[in-house]
Amino acid sequence: MHSRFNAYRIMWVMVYFDLPTETKKERKEAALFRKNLMKDGFTMFQYSIYVRHCPSKENAEVHIKRIKNLLPETGHVCIMYITDKQFGDIEIFRANKPAEAPVLHQQLSLF
């Protein structure tokens, strides 16, 4: 039996997007998409990359479904999920120098 919480069961949902912001309507739509991601517990990793910690694949799928319902009319959105172990192996560089991973808020889940 494996642990309920382990680095291979815990998931991170990553949302990458490139939304147009030429018109006032497009800017409003892009801002609303970001706001809704944050409302659903996502944290900005980089300007157009948001991440969310999920205790399981099943929980990740719930959030992915929500994102699909929030998709803006225009632009490109990519949704990916990876294990906590894979996320922990991310290498981050700034100006060709290794950098610390940003501190992301851990999501507390009550069962």
- Domain annotation covers residue 51: yes
User: Containing domain of residue 25, as a range?
Assistant: 11-86
pLDDT by residue (tens digit) across 44-99? Answer: 999 999 999 999 999 999 999 999 999 999 999 999 999 999 998 988 888 887 87
- Domain annotation covers residue 38: yes
- Domain annotation covers residue 3: no
What's the pLDDT score for residue 105? Answer: 54
Tally of domains within the chain = 1
What's the pLDDT score for residue 8? Answer: 78
Secondary structure, 3-state, the chain: CCCCCCCCCCEEEEEEEECCCCCHHHHHHHHHHHHHHHHCCCEEEECCEEEEEECCHHHHHHHHHHHHHHCCCCCEEEEEEEEHHHHHCCCEEECCEEECCCCCCCCCCCC
What's the pLDDT score for residue 104? Answer: 60
- Domain annotation covers residue 102: no
- Domain annotation covers residue 80: yes
Q: What is the CATH number of the domain that holds 29?
A: 3.30.70.240
What's the pLDDT score for residue 95? Answer: 84
- Domain annotation covers residue 25: yes
